[in-house]
Structures are given as C-alpha cells and as structure tokens.
Amino acid sequence: MSFLRTALASLLLATLPYASADDELVTRPDVQDYIQQTAQQHGFSPDELAGWLQQVELKPNILAILDKPSTSRPWHEFEANFVNKTRINNGARFWRENAILIGDVSRKYQVAPEVLLAILGAETNYGRYTGSFRVADALATIAFNYPRRAEYFRGELTQLFLLAREEKEDPLSFKGSYAGAMGWPQFMPSSFRKWAQDWDKDGHHDIWNNPGDALASVANYLNQHGWQDRGDTLAAVNFNGDPSQLVADKFNLHYTVDELIAKGVAPIDEINTKQQAVLFTLETEPGFTQHFLGFNNFYVITRYNKSTLYATAVLKLADAIKAAYVNGDDLVKATPAPTPAKKPAKASARKK
C-alpha cells in the first residue's frame, strides 16, 4: 500500500460509513475454496477459519480509498509533513528517555539509532498513530472484494492467521491501518512473521506496545536487507544528458558510481566511486528538479517503503533527530504565555 496515500486515506475514511458483518461471506464459493486450501496447507481446522471469517466486518470504505488515484506530491511539498519540529523533537525526546534500550538495539543490529527513530517517526510518530481497524477486517475486505489485489491480500490474511497462532492470540484482536499494516513499524503480517523481534524475550513480538520489540523489528529488517553500518546514504549530483532511463530504474542497484559517471552523472562532492548507487530526482522547488545518487543504505530504506520521497525523508529526519538529541533541542520548553495583569478592583468594591 502506498505510503503517500495514508494521510488522505485517513481523512476520507473518517467521512465514510462502516459496514456491519457480512453473514454471507463464508458461504461464497471463493471463500469456501480459500478456507479449504488454507486449512489443508497450514493445518487449520476449516471450522476454525470459518468461525473467524464469520466475525469479520467488511469495510467498503477501504475500497473507496483503493479506488482513488494515487498522486505523488513533489518533494518541496512532501518534506514538511515528515521533517518537521514535532517529529524531530518527539524523536530526540524518545531517544533521551530510552537511550540505553536504543543503544543496545543499535549495537546488536549495527543500524544507526537515528535511522530507527526516523522510520518509527515517519510511520506512526513513535506509536501515536498505529491504526484503529481490525486487521482481519481490512485484509478480508480487500482479499475477497477487490480482485486487482485479491491474491496478495489473501496471502496476507493467511499470514495473519499464522502469526496469531504463533503468538497465541485471537486473530480478530490485532489492530492496524486500513490496509492491514500493524504496530509502530507498520508491518504487514508477512513482514511481521519474517522480521518482527521479541527483544525482551517474553514470548510475544509486541510491535504495538513494546518499544524494544518495535525498535528491534525495524533494525532487524534493515540489517537483513543489507544495511551497512556507517555506509553512505545519498548525495546531490549534476547530470549531463537525458536521465530518464536511469531514473526509471531507481529501485535497483545495477551500477557503480563509476559506471553512472560514464552515463552522465557528475558528482558535486568527492564520493567513493566504486560503490553502487541509483540515480533519482526530487523537485526541490516548484519547477526545479535536482538529481541525487542514493547509495546502498538509501536503497535498503526503499526496501522498507518503495518511495524515493520516503527514503529521503527518513534520512533527513534522522539527521535532524540526531542534531536535536545532541544539542538538547527537545529539552527547550515553549516560553509560557505571560500572565495577564489583574484589573484593579472597582472603587466601590475596595471600600467594602
């Protein structure tokens, strides 16, 4: 699900009515086929699966969001929504309050703490907005009523049932976004099962309420996707010629910087030309496009969310959080409003 649609989706969802449970869902032939196949492949009881699906409430308002065209805002509009004082100071404050935990997670997975905080800040503002939909409702709605994405979301629905069994929880108890993304990191169920971590070893991968589990899960995801400790992230460059073919391939590390230079890239600052990179563009001002190289760690963030806007925002937010943490910007309290001077009592009142 496109990260760029989340804010618009939340506004639209708030204005649309919810549907009640669809009692006929489990009688549909396609749902019966799903129940039988899932039961056979994963060792569930068909009655157990049918019982859960009978309790699902389909949400047609989700389909209205999926049918809306996705529009990508230019960087100069996008940036302020994610790289702003609220997220920066919240991140620095969270770091200060959880410094030992964050340091331990960072060292174990070899991922910079500010990057972990920036992802959690960009996704859910450090757990403040994790979604209020029952994940089963969201996934089932798309899986059975949205043919274009049905295969993927049926797979995610199955993953939800599997993770609920592994976590020893009711699959109807999990909450998340309108697309089924869960917890502080906004993991889909398949990502949860692959990457979520039980940091405190309590038997649960609690990415909804446990900061250690949430941080370690993001760190594990980045580590397993090839994050390089202290690796380069991005650099502004110039380009000579037509970059369209290279920019179209911006999510794949196919070329070294040397090879990109041969194709027209002109570095502005000194960089390691032996490392791999992707070329991408940002509209940094209205009508003005700037070229950038994204290196391995930039590429890894686009594995988390396939958007150069997202990856750039995360890295800029990370730098700002680190600066605020080091400088103590989050400790500066707002100047209180001056107390209004009391009006003098009326003469008649003073005489009493």
Which residues are known to be catalytic? 123
Is residue 219 a contact partner of residue 111, using CB atoms and an 8 Å limit? Answer: yes
**Tokens found for residue 113:** 């703490």
Q: Which of 77, 186, 189, 204 is nearest to 136 (CA)?
A: 189
Please classify residue 139 by burial: count the beta carbons closer than 10 Å to its beta carbon, then call 0-12 exposed, 13-18 middle and 19+ buried. buried
β-strand partners of 281: 291
**Alpha helix ranges (H) inside 26-66:** 29-42, 46-54, 60-66
